[in-house]
A and B are shown apart, each in its own frame.
Chain A
Amino acid sequence: MNKNSLIFLLSSVGLIVLPHSANIPPALFGFFSLMLSWRFVCVWRPQYLPTTRILFFLTLLAFALLLSQHRHLLGRDAGTNLFILALGLKLLEIKAERDIYLVTYLAFIVAASLFLYEQSLLIAAYILAVCCALLATLVTINSIQVQTRAALKTAAVIILQAIPMAAIIFILFPRIEAPRWMLFEEKNKAKIGLSDSMEPGSISDLGTSEELVFRVKFTGAIPPPKQRYWRGPVLSYTDGKRWTQLSSQRFEAHTTPPRTTGIAYSYTLLMEAQEKNWVFALELPTQFAKPLAQTGYYQLINLENPTKRAEYQITSYLQYNTQRVTQIEYQDSIQLPREPSDKIKQLVTQLHGFDSKPDAFIQQLLNHFKQEDFHYTLTPPLMEDNPIESFLFTTRRGFCSHYAAAFVYLMRVAHIPARVVTGYQGGEFNTVGNFLEVRQANAHAWAEVWLENQGWVRVDPTAAIAPERIEQQLNLDQLELGGEIFFNASNAKHTNWLKKGLQLWENADYQWQRWVVNYSSNQSNFLSSFGIHDFKTMMQWLMALVGLITVLLSIFLLHQKKKAIDPVLRLYQQFCQKLQPTGLIITSREGAVDFAQRATTALPEHAEMIEEITAAFIQLRYGRVTTRENFIRFAKLVAKFKLNNRRLGWR
């Protein structure tokens, strides 16, 4: 093992473990780095290599460290860390060639284990690149004197050649559902999302997060931006400060199904991994498949494991009528913690809340928000006691939750059933991939009012005070600064090409998530569209295609060899083929002279001709002067050469 390939191997091992630094405990990562640096030093100072005894104690230490961090050896984290520690220890034990193989294979396992933590396009590209370096190490140690660059090139070619086969196996290999105990522990990685309660103020930090929540791909029409309300949990209980969910099971059974009209929007929803089992469908979802279910609040929930990224097919209608409400639902929706204060009652009276129709009162209230000195801001002042009253009369600054909470509260004071709905509003359209991206920044809260003959109707008080919030995207960069929110009319945060580039990248990532990472759940659908329905046909196709690729590759390789042949040799091969029927076949080690000798002994009657052809061939291929006339003469000789029919007849 020479120094260079050792350095190369150590560096690629270091590169493979590097992304794991975010996943494994610092103590273990430190241990591994120590082992790696130790080995690096030993490249130049071999006398510092540990003895077997020290190595034994290091191994014990590694085990103790591992157990102190995980207390067991099962599961994703402990298993991966075990491999990393073993890799680090094995580095110190490289003595013979087989140790290098072992280290390389361990490194491949560690590289694969990265996918247990992250499946993004970037990490995949990274792992592929590092695997290329590892393969290059294998190439170097398997041949004498190979330049690093040549080895890398060979490794890259090997990877490229493996891609078609890998793609076919990826597409066709049957996916087996992982048993429960193999499911990865992802609890320590809490997902930020909507909370199940709302206390005006609690949603503010959410608004600034660019984290992706879900993507939507519409099959037909796309709803206008103003109508993109993605329904999440409905909060109908309040204690005056907090708004919380109530179980809908008490009235679910009696809820009448909504009547829908207008255009049906069908779409595919790709949810990122969530902590809660909420699925944010466009208002109002009507058709969906298992494992989805709808609560009495028309919210969709996933009955199974929500911690994995999943894809759903949903159809929604923007125009709907939920009709009657049950008694319990009605009671829940006018619930107030205590008798409202006189100041509030006075405001409701002033806006004709008690003496006009509900629609008129809603309009009055929205006008009140619009005309009075109300402002939309993401950094409102704190409102500790009596938040609704201080918001309505003193501070008058807030964001969606404040407006929705105040609106619903005032509705309830006027005995109109109302509730707060949280979810997401809007979403950015990716023109490259034709899909909608909804991020945490799109989190929103609005109100829902029950009206006679119309059922539950959505009212968004935020739209009244800051219509731009609904019609356009927020300029997220400015949100942190506080104060008034400025809406970016042209949305020209980035120059055009940069925006285009970003969209391209988002699209690539979306396609990657959808078609590669999430493929297991799509496999049966995808294959069905090609007429592959059951396991047996799947395996048949798999074997047929793998066989086909093998044949194609071998034809390609054979063909490639033939291409480089010079015309003289090709003519000579024709000559050899003419001799073939007599059983005379030139072997690969035979030169023309040796073959001619064999041929003349076997076919004495052709001896003269064979010798002439051989001499001409030798002259053309190896001789000092090769003229065109000689070549033509040789070509004619070969063309003229013919075996005696008599001889053929005998055989």
Chain B
Amino acid sequence: MQKYTQQLLDSANQIILGKEHKIRLAVCCLLARGHLLIEDIPGVGKTTLAHTLAKLLGLHYQRIQFTSDILPADILGASVFDGKSHEFTFHPGPVFNQMVLADEINRATPKAQSALLEAMEEGQVTIEGKTYPLPKPFFVIATQNPSHQIGTFPLPESQLDRFLMRIELGYPDPKAERALLTGQSRQKLIASLSVQLPPEQLQLMQQSVTKVHTSDALLDYCQAIINFTRESTEYPCGLSPRAGLALLSAAKAWAFLDQRDAVIPEDIQAVLPSVAGHRLRAGHTNSEAIVAPILDKVPAL
């Protein structure tokens, strides 16, 4: 099983250079059955990452470009009158895919945003009284521009909470940048990728992830972190119980990626910025800085 993940990571690293840790986090998020939010300025490879993952996982993939005039029907689909059969037939929207890339989600109006986010939460879409289940597995990778950019509608905290992780990609280091500049076009490379982790395998792995062991000592550490965010004056509000569960399942996936059957504090520390950053301070992009006080003040052992 481990061989699949290693291949997956290796292939992805060939496309997106110098971002091993971020790619690992993205895979970890998928293993933990979470949705992923990638936040960064345009052009650092957000879409490429989403595209690569879809390709490597062999999932049905659709991209939705969010604009300020997009409507819920553009995402969910709509009933259209069929002239031949004289009936309304439902034409599913792009959301009916195993992997959905919601590009620049914060450029859409709140109405369109919430259409997608509701689908994410419930795993189904209800249109005109009929409920249509979404495919399984169902992943949403959303990208968003930093909210200080022009023409954005920042996602509210309650909707940010739907994303298991938020990651930032950041600029590549000089070495990776040089490789990027001299190398092949990314589009071509992605097109040439083969499936490394078939969906059945992915579902098996997701099963295994839930079985990773968490000892009392580890749960103590996890609770200490949660309590710290609730009692400290650093944060406007602490982590919710849902955030606690998210933290634990992400840590389990991280341990699984590291080929361990038990979670250790390092796993929690590794996923904490991405899991807790957007939940503690929605407006800030630097997750590492947001969680730094927690890591400094809550003893790991």
Contact = CB atoms under 8 A, between A and B. Distances in A.
A623 B231 contact: no
Contact of B230 (A144, A594, A622, A624): A144
B264 A592 contact: yes
Interface in A274-330: none
Interface in B125-171: none
A590 B264 contact: no
Interface string A125-163: 000000000000000001111000000000000000000
A624 B266 contact: no
A622 B218 contact: yes
A588 interface: yes
Interface in B207-234: 213-215, 217-218, 230-231, 233
B264 A145 contact: no
Interface residues of A, number: 21
B243 interface: no
A622 B269 contact: no
A144 B262 contact: no
Contacts, number: 59
B299 interface: yes
A590 B295 CA distance: 9
Contact of A624 (B213, B269, B295, B298): B213
A241 interface: no
Interface string A605-632: 0000000000000110111100000000
Contact of A593 (B230, B231, B264, B299): B264
B215 A623 contact: yes
A98 interface: no
A569 interface: yes
Nearest to A561: B299
Interface in A532-583: 566, 569, 572
A145 B300 contact: no
Nearest to A589: B295
B230 A588 contact: no
Interface string A73-98: 00000000000000000000000000
A295 B254 CA distance: 95
Given A143-B230, A594-B266, A622 B300 contact: no
A591 interface: yes
B262 A590 contact: no
B88 to A, nearest CB: 49
Interface string B264-275: 111001000000
B37 to A, nearest CB: 25
A153 B120 CA distance: 43
- The 5 residue pairs across chains A and B that have the minimum distance between CB atoms: A591-B265, A624-B213, A588-B299, A591-B266, A591-B300
Interface of A: 142-145, 566, 569, 572, 586, 588-594, 618-619, 621-624
26 contacts: A144-B237, A144-B238, A145-B238, A569-B217, A569-B301, A572-B301, A588-B296, A588-B297, A588-B298, A588-B299, A589-B295, A589-B300, A591-B264, A591-B300, A592-B264, A592-B265, A593-B264, A618-B262, A618-B264, A622-B213, A622-B214, A622-B215, A622-B217, A622-B264, A623-B215, A624-B213
Given A566-B217, A589-B299, A591-B264, 7 more contacts: A144-B237, A589-B269, A589-B295, A591-B300, A593-B264, A618-B264, A623-B213
